[in-house]
Structure 1
Amino acid sequence: MKASGELSVGIVVASLGRARNVETLLDRLALQSRLPACVLLSLETPTDAPPERPYPFPLIALFGPRGSCQQRNRALDHLPADIDIVLFLDDDYVPSRRLVAGVARFFATHGDIDGASGRLLADGINGPGIAPRTAVQLVEAEDARGEEPQLSVSAPHPGLYGCNMAYRRASIGATRFDENLPLYGWQEDIDFGGRLAGRLVYTDAFYGVHCGEKAGRERNGRRLGYSQIANPWYLWRKGSMPTRFAYRLMLRSLAANTARVLRPEPWIDRKGRLTGNWLAVRDILVGRADPRRILEL
């Protein structure tokens, strides 16, 4: 039970095909200076779960259709009623031992803030990825400094970074992730935050490392490339993504895929992404762009 006046933190992890990453994350959560009130794993099948073992917090495993939006919604629908703060973590996120304490302290101090993402010591998403062992070393070194994290607050942002984003339960209410963004759900984090009325920020109050694990991510370059254009277009028309932000995302994806298509990174299918980009542009021009079309590619 939480102490009187203490904010409880529930953690949601949606995962697919990364049982080892999930195990690393759970091990790190078991070392927290303040334990989470509960951890919900939203998976497709039991094969996505690590081996069963006791943890010092309630662990709830949920199973159902794949898709980051569907899986996160499933967890929200099963969240215990006494949870005050919902912390969404990617399965390849490696947290500081003070993550949960930092989240609770931040929201207790800033009553006017509805959602926040913490500081990343490193992010492997745009590179070959960071090995979990290396990520653990990075957070342990930072924790060993012993400095109390600063409760800094950035300027308001249209959305948070999905690998680590915390929201007040009361601010979420009945809002759910848009399941019209299937599979990997490109930009679902920005859409979700954009539909909440409150103030969203970035802070140094809690931190960790995002490994950027490549296993389990969308490997069909055409699908991801289509999403890079169709999803911002859809969210802009829907009103949950600012115009400038949406167009910058689309143009940046087209530019990056075009510039690197002849010399692609080993972990990125640039040719497939560029093809998907132009398929989405074509669909926009003929009025049939829809994020769900990736299910046909």
Structure 2
Amino acid sequence: MRHELVVCTRNRPDDTLRCLESVATQTRSPDRVIVVDSSDTDATKHVTETFARTSGLAVDFFHSAPGLTLQRNAALDHLDESTDVVHFVDDDAILDPAYLHGILAAFEDHPQAGGAGGRICNLPEHLPNRLRRIFLLNSRNQGVLLRSGVNVLSFTGDRPRRVGWLSGCSMSYRCRSITGLRFDESRSGNGVGEDVDFSARVAARAELVWTPLAVLEHRQSPINREDQATVMRRVIRSRWRLAADRVGQVSRTAVLYAIAGEVLISLTKAGRHRSRGLARHAFAHLAAVGDIIKGTPV
């Protein structure tokens, strides 16, 4: 099974190097590593070229215009025609040495699977809340895409499970299952929600599998990060976009219902705990409704 690994990056040479170094430790090395960079300097290019000389891996470097979805599509355009599986990992992810072995084993054990993702080992504890479940903001089930557009992560489990979406920092696809699909380039910047959108469209074609045997740590880099309120508004617009594009079972009514629930819960807690942070969280959701009305893109 020929498999290639893609790292998309921008202005994060140190993070990229740490990620690549973890790729070099894999018990099942990728047949090729593709780095797609949109940095403002040549620092990442130099890091990648040095890694290519010393790692013994086949490494190709490409420069792209800024935009995560543009970079992901550029990687798809440069895949070898004989490649069976493409792995996408974030530049600030550190892979366990058996990560790729675990992903490939999931494909081998599930021949109908079109995509697979691994266990992000540094996620916070999953604590489903009944009130949040009522407002379609959470679920007892892990790895699901709710009608509200909320994507619930896979946190725990000792065996593979079928899921409705894959996280962008750990998503691999069987190439035959994504033929003709592209990442949505209208999602600007770091492409908030692009992973949910793409993987859910793959899930309409073939099953997606989460496996606990492929472990990685997502060390979220502070570089190129937007402030929390801006991100939340973009997340809401992304959920609305999923509903407009009829991705999965996401509906506009459910998206608005979930927003109302989040505002109610946040304002109630803000009053109880006198928390300005929770109040700002609620107002960010209300501002996102304004964005939706104005037609602000993701």
Q: Which residue in the other structure is 2:210 paired with?
A: 202
Q: Which residue in the other structure is 1:188 paired with?
A: 194
Q: Which residue in the other structure is 2:154 paired with?
A: none
Q: Give the Cα separation in 2 of the matches to 1:251 and 1:215.
A: 32
2:164 maps to which of 155, 158, 164: 158
Residue 25 of structure 2 is aligned to residue 31 of structure 1: yes
Q: Which residue in the other structure is 2:146 paired with?
A: none
Q: Which residue in the other structure is 1:137 paired with?
A: none
Deviation at 1:33, TM superposition (A): 1.2
Q: Which residue in the other structure is 1:56 paired with?
A: 56
- Say what the alpha-carbon RMSD is for the aligned residues: 3.0
Task: Rate the CA distance shift 1:109–1:65 in 2: closer, same or farther, 3 A.
Answer: same
TM-score (norm 1): 0.75
Deviation at 1:211, TM superposition (A): 1.3
Task: Rate the CA distance shift 1:50–1:99 in 2: closer, same or farther, 3 A.
Answer: farther
Deviation at 1:257, TM superposition (A): 6.7
Residue 18 of structure 2 is aligned to residue 11 of structure 1: no
Task: Rate the CA distance shift 1:255–1:14 in 2: closer, same or farther, 3 A.
Answer: farther
Contact 2:244-2:251 at 8 Å conserved across structures: no
Written as runs of structure 1 = structure 2, the 5 A alignment for 1:11-160 is 11-45=5-39, 46-49=42-45, 51=47, 52-53=49-50, 54=53, 55-123=55-123, 152-154=159-161, 156-160=162-166
Identity of aligned residues (%): 26
Contact 1:69-1:181 at 8 Å conserved across structures: yes
Residue 214 of structure 2 is aligned to residue 212 of structure 1: no
Contact 2:9-2:35 at 8 Å conserved across structures: yes
- Give aligned pairs, total: 254
Task: Rate the CA distance shift 1:255–1:204 in 2: closer, same or farther, 3 A.
Answer: farther
Structure 1 alignment gaps of length 5 or more: 1-6, 127-149, 293-297
Worse-matched range after superposition: 42-51 or 91-100: 42-51
Structure 2 alignment gaps of length 5 or more: 127-156
Q: Give the Cα separation in 1 of the matches to 2:17 and 2:261.
A: 35
Deviations along 1:188-241, one digit per CA (max 9) or x if unpaired, are 11100122211112112311111122222224x553232121110011110114
Task: Rate the CA distance shift 1:185–1:255 in 2: closer, same or farther, 3 A.
Answer: farther
Deviation at 1:164, TM superposition (A): 0.5
Contact 1:123-1:212 at 8 Å conserved across structures: no
Deviations along 1:105-159, one digit per CA (max 9) or x if unpaired, are 22122101111111122137x9xxxxxxxxxxxxxxxxxxxxxxx99321x3221
Task: Rate the CA distance shift 1:87–1:254 in 2: closer, same or farther, 3 A.
Answer: farther
Contact 2:166-2:196 at 8 Å conserved across structures: yes
Q: Give the Cα separation in 2 of the matches to 1:50 and 1:161.
A: 28
Contact 1:118-1:164 at 8 Å conserved across structures: yes
Q: Which residue in the other structure is 2:237 paired with?
A: 230
Residue 237 of structure 2 is aligned to residue 243 of structure 1: no
